[in-house]
Amino acid sequence: MGAWLLFAVAVYAQQVDTVSYHQLSEVEVVEKARPSVTREATPVQLIDRKGIERLGVQELSEAVKRFSGVTVQDYGGIGGLKTVSVRSLGAKHTAVSYDGVTITDAQSGQVDISRFSLDNVEMVSLSIGQADNIFQTARIYASAGALSIKTSKPEFTTLPFHLRAQVKAGSFGLVNPSLRYEQKLGEKWSASLYGDWQRADGNYPFTLINGKLEDKKKRYNSDIETWRTELNLYGDFGKGGRLRLKGYYFDSERGLPGSVILYNDYSGERLWDKNGFAQAHYENRVNELFAFQAQLKYNYAWMRHLEVDNKYESGRQDDRYTQNEYYGSASALYTPWECVSFSLAQDFYVNTLDNTLPECPFPTRYTSLTVLAGQYKTSRFTATASLLGTFMTEKVETGDTPADRKRLSPAVSASWRILPEQNLRIRASYKDIFRVPTFNDMYYLRIGNTGLKPERATQYNLGLTWSGKSASFVNYLSVSTDGYYNRIRDKIVAMPTMFIWKMMNMGEVSIAGIDANISTEIPVCNKVDVVLQGTYTWQKAIDITDESAKNYRHQIPYTPKHSGTVALSIENPWVNLSYNLTAVGDRYSLPQNIEANLIKSYVEQGISVNREFKFNKCKLRLQGEIINLGNINYDVIQYYPMPGRSYRAMVAFIL
């Protein structure tokens, strides 16, 4: 524990100027060092276990929707694909990491966040641009935004084991029991086991508006069944460092209801996923000068896609895809003076794809990422600079071998507390990053293009943050506002010819925006606190590819100009109550901003209540939610309707 504790205390000591820690008890602060949202030189937003429980959030996507500057592309329902796009850069520019290791899908380039359970999660954070923590894997540097999911680490105070048994149930046939068991194994070791099973019919009703017709319909073929298992082993050897081993397995079968097609309710697609990975992380903070960490991971992903349709001569099309990833990372942190640190990180990974489609070239991609970063940090000023070097080479069994890719990507950021006695900070950052073409972009039957260049993204951010006690009647108040400008060049898009599409580097997008966040806690009277959080995003994300195109300088699809969220919680000794609201402005389903493509704005609301009962050493937690309180009919993605009013309840037993 020693080294870790020391480090955590050090981090805490460095962050005393943030009073947002008020809401955490002293012990928690020591154990769970987390980035300070107002101190970071680039925007960071987070929700921890306490926030998750307070707001009654049950899905990762629901948590992420609370962040500003984020669009969750949600295809509706429990089994519907959910991806995260940060500041209109597209989901392929967002890295998703699970306990420090990036989750990848070299084939599609995006991660479906609906596959992760929130039950096991301690903290979810989203950083935009390059986060201040320079002691990271190189992969974390290699994206425009990073969604980081951290699972709970067991802490034993009295009992040598913990148990959490929980059942969730809800509308449309949702049943989700889960179990988490933690066991102390002597002085140095501990283990946790998590498993859950989930099923839902997902056949929710929706209203289909077709001209003057209004049809009450139901979603069909949207059933899902998933299994998740996770085993963690934690070793803490004091000066010998810390080791964490994780095994993860995910298995699911689901129907793909597809988009709603007028006059055609047929839906014959199903998807099976099997994903397993094993990862090991070792970290040693040798002394005040030097620390290092290393990780290894093997990831296996298998997918089967079946479509039953009479257009196929055999009546069906049945495809299988297998991906493997071998990943290794090592990084070192050197802190010669208290305020100066340097890090060097080296990642290497291999990705393979095998599928049953004709003409699969069986690509193997070798990637090496190297990062050199330096940081100067005092209580008032932080400046960070990093340089990422990418080298990528690819081998194929048939067809054209793409050229090797080499690239240097710089990032710089700074944060300065303007006045010594006021916690008002100004921050500025710049990052130049790219995403490589996915296997689909390059090799997908006929549409793939091995000549693709990486899609480049440049990010600029300038922001102000303030946190403190604004008045005697608030416990804390934290406010941040960031203005940003992003530019996407060589955007990888599918270009149609009359018969076949081809992936091309053909797009350029200019994105300007403002994100604002506010968070406050107001004690109303003894034991009654009100927590209020709000976010607002304004975005102008326009297509500037082709001056002669009809959508030149039009807002890109699915990007509202205005959007925002409000979350209000009332904590009291009787029943905790929280209310949340998400407002999304008008958007367009296609690139041209015309009436025919307009998707109307919506406001979605929900409420959650919870109560915890304590008996001796165990706790019983009851929680209930109403989602889409107003029963409004809305789409996030056009013709993928979202569920109307629905209910969810949870019982958890915690020991």
Partner 1 sequence: MKKNKFLFLSALCAMMAMFFVACDNDDDPTPDPTPDPEKTTAFYVLDGGSFGNNNAAISYVNGEGEVTNDIFKDLNGRNLGDMGQNMIRYGSKLYVSVYGSKTVEILNAADAKSLKQLKLLDEQGNERAPRMFAAHGDKVYLTTYDGYVAKIDTASMTVDAYVQVGPNPDGITIANGRIYTADTDGMNWPSQSTSVSVVDINTFKMEKTLTVSLNPNYIYSDSDGDVYVICMSDYSDDKSYIIQRIDAKTDEVTTIEGVKAYKMTVYDDIAYIMFNDYYAGAVKFYKYDLKNEKLLSDNFITDGTVIDSPNGIGIDPLRGDIYVAKSNKTNNGDVYVFTAEGKLKTQFETAPYPSDFVFMVDK
* Beta pairing partners, 511: 486, 541
Question: In sequence order, which residues have a C-beta less than 8 Å from that of residue 60 and are 6 or more positions away?
Answer: 82, 113, 114, 116, 117, 118, 121, 124, 149
Quick one: which of 13, 419, 471, 596 contacts partner 1 (CB under 8 A)? Answer: 596
* Beta pairing partners, 384: 375, 413
Does 266 bind partner 1 (CB under 8 A)? Our answer is yes
Does 305 bind partner 1 (CB under 8 A)? Our answer is yes
We find the least distance from the C-beta atom of residue 258 to partner 1, in angstroms, to be 8
Quick one: which of 157, 186, 213, 337 contacts partner 1 (CB under 8 A)? Answer: 213
Does 599 bind partner 1 (CB under 8 A)? Our answer is no
| E strands present in 286-357 | 290-308, 316-337, 340-355
Euclidean distance between CA atoms 297 and 651, whole angstroms:
35
Residue range at the interface with partner 1 (CB under 8 A); choices 147-155, 438-446, 462-470, 530-538: 438-446
Does 212 bind partner 1 (CB under 8 A)? Our answer is yes
Quick one: which of 187, 359, 400, 404 contacts partner 1 (CB under 8 A)? Answer: 359
Quick one: which of 96, 256, 301, 599 contacts partner 1 (CB under 8 A)? Answer: 256
Residue range at the interface with partner 1 (CB under 8 A); choices 171-179, 489-497, 567-575, 647-655: 489-497
Does 445 bind partner 1 (CB under 8 A)? Our answer is yes
Quick one: which of 157, 498, 547, 573 contacts partner 1 (CB under 8 A)? Answer: 498
We find the least distance from the C-beta atom of residue 319 to partner 1, in angstroms, to be 8
Euclidean distance between CA atoms 251 and 229, whole angstroms:
9
Euclidean distance between CA atoms 232 and 98, whole angstroms:
13
Does 311 bind partner 1 (CB under 8 A)? Our answer is yes
Q: Is the dihedral of CA 438, 441, 444, 449 positive or negative?
A: negative
Rg of the chain in Å (alpha carbons):
24
Does 418 bind partner 1 (CB under 8 A)? Our answer is no
The number of helices, as runs of H, and strands, as runs of E, in the chain is: 6, 35
Does 598 bind partner 1 (CB under 8 A)? Our answer is no
DSSP assignment of 517-551, as one string? EEEEEEEEETTEEEEEEEEEEEEEEEE-S-TTSTT
Whole-Å CA distances, 472 to 143, 332, 468: 42, 45, 11
Does 321 bind partner 1 (CB under 8 A)? Our answer is yes
We find the least distance from the C-beta atom of residue 308 to partner 1, in angstroms, to be 9
| Cα 546 from chain centre | 32
We find the least distance from the C-beta atom of residue 61 to partner 1, in angstroms, to be 18
Quick one: which of 322, 324, 475, 589 contacts partner 1 (CB under 8 A)? Answer: 589
Does 264 bind partner 1 (CB under 8 A)? Our answer is yes
Does 107 bind partner 1 (CB under 8 A)? Our answer is yes
Closer by beta carbon to partner 1, 109 or else 606: 109
We find the least distance from the C-beta atom of residue 513 to partner 1, in angstroms, to be 24
Does 550 bind partner 1 (CB under 8 A)? Our answer is yes
Q: What 3-state class would DSSP assign to 495?
A: strand
Residue range at the interface with partner 1 (CB under 8 A); choices 64-72, 93-101, 180-188, 488-496: 488-496
Does 501 bind partner 1 (CB under 8 A)? Our answer is yes
Closer by beta carbon to partner 1, 160 or else 496: 496
Residue pair 512/89 in contact (Cβ under 8 Å)? The answer is no
Does 499 bind partner 1 (CB under 8 A)? Our answer is yes
Residue pair 510/544 in contact (Cβ under 8 Å)? The answer is yes
Does 494 bind partner 1 (CB under 8 A)? Our answer is yes
Quick one: which of 157, 472, 497, 616 contacts partner 1 (CB under 8 A)? Answer: 497
Quick one: which of 324, 379, 401, 440 contacts partner 1 (CB under 8 A)? Answer: 440
Residue pair 437/413 in contact (Cβ under 8 Å)? The answer is no
Closer by beta carbon to partner 1, 74 or else 283: 74
Closer by beta carbon to partner 1, 138 or else 303: 303
Residue type, 139: R
Does 252 bind partner 1 (CB under 8 A)? Our answer is no
Whole-Å CA distances, 631 to 1, 78, 598, 627: 50, 17, 21, 8
Residue type, 502: K
Closer by beta carbon to partner 1, 157 or else 314: 314
We find the least distance from the C-beta atom of residue 259 to partner 1, in angstroms, to be 4
Euclidean distance between CA atoms 479 and 8, whole angstroms:
25
Q: State the greatest distance between any 2 C-alpha atoms of the chain, in Å, as a whole number.
A: 75
Q: Is the dihedral of CA 10, 13, 15, 21 positive or negative?
A: positive
Does 152 bind partner 1 (CB under 8 A)? Our answer is no
Closer by beta carbon to partner 1, 441 or else 625: 441
Q: Is the dihedral of CA 393, 385, 514, 488 positive or negative?
A: negative
Binding site for partner 1 (CB under 8 A): 81, 107-108, 210-213, 256, 258-264, 266, 271, 303, 305, 310-314, 317, 321, 358-359, 440, 444-447, 494-502, 549-551, 589-592, 594, 596-597, 638-639
